[in-house]
Structure 1
């Protein structure tokens, strides 16, 4: 095996199935040695099974690659450190991290419990931070490395019943940008991918209307393997021009997503009062207000 990631060591979290599995396989095919991390939990994060991580590692080895399984949780600093340390202990270094591990506990905002909020934030946002912090020490010392974080249009645009997931995913985009800014002096890159693909997590979303059912049927045709090529490219040295960017992948489409920037302003020499804001500022800006869109309202066309 040879390719874009020859000689590199890559850690892929949540790699026991779905998008993570395909990215782990693609990294190995491109020449990387892979740490396949997965705790083997349900979509909601409950339970544990060492089988998925081992199975994917065996798939890689059967194809002629090098891989080891790991079943530590990304949601605690000690276990996140252990994941990265296994890469270093096994292969002598770490060059890339794909922060893909995640769970869902969907609930309408006013009905969401604190444990449902905490669990999702902990795995997605805290997990991405802990994994990046653990790898960042090695990246800084060797003056090279790349992160790929999984964000979501649920956070970038919006979605129903996913306040915990959306907050975590938008937080990951900001975390990635901060890492890119802080670590660029050490030749370390950090980018995000918002994936569209049929997976266990998507399959768990309730379908309550014919419109939602139709969207789910379209999602079933978007395979997880479509996400992997961009992830491999961003980890490679030849992808070094991309740093601090947010991409989306939907079947054969790759999007560069916008990042918040000022779009209009209003000014008064006298300064503002609450009354003048209501009378002047808000009406002047109203034409540029954003609608209460959700991801499906923006991505309305069939990509296949």
Structure 2
């Protein structure tokens, strides 16, 4: 059955180009009214203009959709709250939030200025926190909400020269894990998207044929699936070039090393067993780790 977003209201941040633009256009094409948010800055986050957001709104309207442009900086809570208030005044509800806004300031950790580290954290992590906080009570009152955090394989698996970006992106996974639990009783479903796409951030880093295959539009169906009425929650969806995968944070069966003086040496000699994926689980919550550890203690004690 086709995913129908008629009557839904969505906010997409960083939607003036690249992934955000395609997300906004697809959600609008499926019936959602869309707030196209974009500061209009460079890849590094400097400057700013609402022109890019306005252009996307015109595209959506030309295709028969409904949208409004917003130039709020996601790093400024007051601006985010004003954006949310404007959407509520116009449409009366907010059902979908796609946290997509981001910047890059790549350098090795040895050469990175802490100001560049903070700037990336502020946009990716705190930007998502601000936007999510601003819509959270609205979604709780509605007993309905769909939130997508944009994570990255740079955070999930690491990428040279992106300590700031990777830290921010992995932090979003942690935020998603907790909010998916807290939002469950109000049908607020929170997921992560890890995209691979040819955007301004990848220009000059990949050959032209690879960039063509990694068109942002090939990622956006993943967003549509994550914001649908029957969307999952606590899912990390990877997407690129029309392919989709799931990433998981797993817990291996591990070992019981005890509390003796040689516990560290037992760990040191057991790395292969500790890493063995057989019997691994995807924990439902933080308490699972403790449960697994206590089970092994009981086995060791023979109780």
Q: Same fold (TM over 0.5)?
A: yes
SS at match of 2:230: helix
Could you say which residue in structure 1 is the equivalent of 2:24?
Answer: 24
**More displaced stretch, 156-165 vs 225-234:** 225-234
**1:267 maps to 2:253:** no
Q: CA deviation at 1:266?
A: 3.0
Could you say which residue in structure 2 is the equivalent of 1:194?
Answer: 194
Could you say which residue in structure 1 is the equivalent of 2:57?
Answer: 57
- TM-score if structure 2 supplies the norm length? 0.86
Could you say which residue in structure 2 is the equivalent of 1:221?
Answer: 213
Determine if contact 1:40/1:52 at 8 Å carries over to the other structure. yes
Could you say which residue in structure 2 is the equivalent of 1:237?
Answer: 229
Could you say which residue in structure 2 is the equivalent of 1:47?
Answer: 47
Q: CA deviation at 1:260?
A: 3.4
Post-superposition Cα deviations, 1:243-273, rounded to whole Å, max 9, x if no partner, equal: 01101012121101111323422323xx143
Root-mean-square deviation (CA, aligned residues, Å) is 1.8
Counterpart-to-counterpart distance in 2, 1:258 and 1:3: 25
SS at match of 2:239: strand
Could you say which residue in structure 1 is the equivalent of 2:83?
Answer: 83
Q: CA deviation at 1:288?
A: 5.0
Post-superposition Cα deviations, 1:106-155, rounded to whole Å, max 9, x if no partner, equal: 01011111110010000000011111111101001111011011100000
Could you say which residue in structure 2 is the equivalent of 1:247?
Answer: 237
SS at match of 1:111: coil
Counterpart-to-counterpart distance in 2, 1:51 and 1:165: 26
Could you say which residue in structure 1 is the equivalent of 2:265?
Answer: 279
- TM-score if structure 1 supplies the norm length? 0.86
Counterpart-to-counterpart distance in 2, 1:5 and 1:156: 30
Determine if contact 2:255/2:274 at 8 Å carries over to the other structure. no
Post-superposition Cα deviations, 1:71-116, rounded to whole Å, max 9, x if no partner, equal: 0011122112122222111111100000000000001011111110
Count residues in correspondence: 275
SS at match of 1:247: strand
Q: CA deviation at 1:289?
A: 5.2
